[in-house]
Structure 1
Amino acid sequence: MQEADQSKRRLFNRKLKQRAPFQSQLPWLKTEKFESDCTRCGKCVEACPTKVIVNGDGGYPVLDFRKAECELCYACSETCPESLFHPNSHEPWQQEASIDSSRCLNTQGVYCRSCADSCEPEALSIAAQIGGTASLEVDSELCSSCGACITVCPAQAISIKVIE
């Protein structure tokens, strides 16, 4: 009788690497006043129609794009009893989607359009390469940083980065 190779068993028992849920600041937020003036009342969390706002570190509200996308509806600001938000005529934030090409399924030869199909402003495009793998590109002019692409990405290859 042939013995099983015990060294391979650890492959089944290893824990998968989990990335922490991506969190971002709320849109239109006056970041310089946020930590000192936010009372952590939770009204913005309750008002959010997509429930993307959660209590983050210290109970401060943050967007968790692993849960949902931000509709940029301004409900969080309208319900906030403090003056923590810019008017909605102001840009909601200075950030955009960023692709980790080492994780993206398209760069690994797997056809995937989950992110591009979920992007309403069509800011994501997949560029096919003859004889090579496809690459995913972000049009920063169209990207609203809503996070819809993050929620649906099976490889967790997308995050939102602050534009410097």
Structure 2
Amino acid sequence: MVDTSRRNLLFGRKPQTIAAPRPPWSKPNFVDICTRCGDCVSACPTQIIRVGDAGFPTVDFAHGECSFCGECSRVCNTKAIEQSAAEPWSLRAVRTDNCLALKNIECRICGEVCDVRAIRFELAIGKVAKPHINTEQCTGCGACVAPCPSQSLNILEITT
């Protein structure tokens, strides 16, 4: 098996990273019309909108969850973020193999903090209950990310 980090170093490639999500209701041409004024960063009551690469606002779920209050949209003068009846984004929670329950250690924190109950636990006799994420029900709010003791939840773009 080839070590990809070594191969990337040898061939001058940057390692693959997951792009930080944009604020909810960001338009497809967000980068073209956002002026990087920071108004959405200041307006976010949960403080998850942060200044990211090149000064563009991004969402960091390590600091909390999105309440979908619409404040970021309300203060966006360029309408790069514009609240609509459509879903705010196609982000959903995804569990990694670091999950404590998958290692047979009892943990249900993610399910306890999920207000929409998108994370359910499958019981099995003599085993620890395993979490299952219903992506149809998940809003991608990120409430499950910060409390996870093993950092095994990510909020990712789900394409259909």
- Confirm or deny a common fold (TM above 0.5): yes
Tell me the CA shift for residue 54 of structure 1. 0.3
Aligned pairs for 1:18-33 (under 5 A) are 23-31=20-28, 33=29
Query: Does residue 119 of structure 1 match 2:114?
Result: yes
Tell me the CA shift for residue 35 of structure 1. 1.1
Unaligned runs of 5+ in 2: 1-16
Aligned pairs for 1:129-140 (under 5 A) are 129-140=124-135
Structure 2 counterpart of 1:113, one-letter code: R
Identity within the alignment, %: 37
Check conservation: 2:76, 2:82, Cα contact below 8 A. no
Structure 2 counterpart of 1:28, one-letter code: W
Structure 2 counterpart of 1:77, one-letter code: S
- Where does residue 54 of structure 1 map in the other structure? 50
- Where does residue 94 of structure 2 map in the other structure? 98
Tell me the CA shift for residue 34 of structure 1. 1.1
Which SS does the other structure have where 2:144 is aligned? helix
- In structure 1, which of residues 143, 149, 155 is the aligned counterpart of residue 144 of structure 2? 149
TM superposition outliers: structure 1 runs of 4+ over 4 Å: none
Tell me the CA shift for residue 113 of structure 1. 1.3
- In structure 1, which of residues 40, 45, 50 is the aligned counterpart of residue 41 of structure 2? 45
Which SS does the other structure have where 2:146 is aligned? helix
Check conservation: 1:96, 1:163, Cα contact below 8 A. yes
Quote the Cα distance in structure 2 between the aligned partners of 1:96 and 1:86: 20
TM-score under structure 2 normalisation? Answer: 0.83
Tell me the CA shift for residue 133 of structure 1. 4.1
- In structure 2, which of residues 63, 66, 74 is the aligned counterpart of residue 67 of structure 1? 63
Alignment size in residue pairs: 143
Quote the Cα distance in structure 1 between the aligned partners of 2:57 and 2:47: 11
- Where does residue 103 of structure 2 map in the other structure? 108
**Which of these two proteins has the greater Rg computed from alpha carbons?**
1
Check conservation: 1:115, 1:152, Cα contact below 8 A. yes
Check conservation: 1:21, 1:64, Cα contact below 8 A. no
